[in-house]
């Protein structure tokens, strides 16, 4: 029983770690998208 509980605890840690990495990746992607959008807006304004 004890070993099973330990395994469950490890699994939970893995899940939380994975979700945190996914969150950081999403944050990075959102930042990149915002930067790209701002650049696109600048270039489009210069064209017209």
Q: What's the CA gap between 19 and 31, in Å, rounded? A: 18
Q: What's the CA gap between 37 and 30, in Å, rounded? A: 10
pLDDT digit string, tens, across residues 1-48: 567 667 766 666 666 777 788 888 999 999 999 999 999 999 888 765
pLDDT of 11: 67
pLDDT of 43: 87
The verdict on pTM exceeding 0.75 is: no
pLDDT of 13: 66
């Amino acid at each position: 029983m004890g070993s099973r509980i330990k395994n469950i605890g490890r699994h939970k840690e893995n899940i939380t770690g994975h979700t945190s990495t996914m969150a950081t990746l999403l944050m990075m992607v959102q930042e990149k998208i915002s930067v790209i959008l701002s650049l696109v807006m600048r270039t489009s304004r210069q064209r017209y």
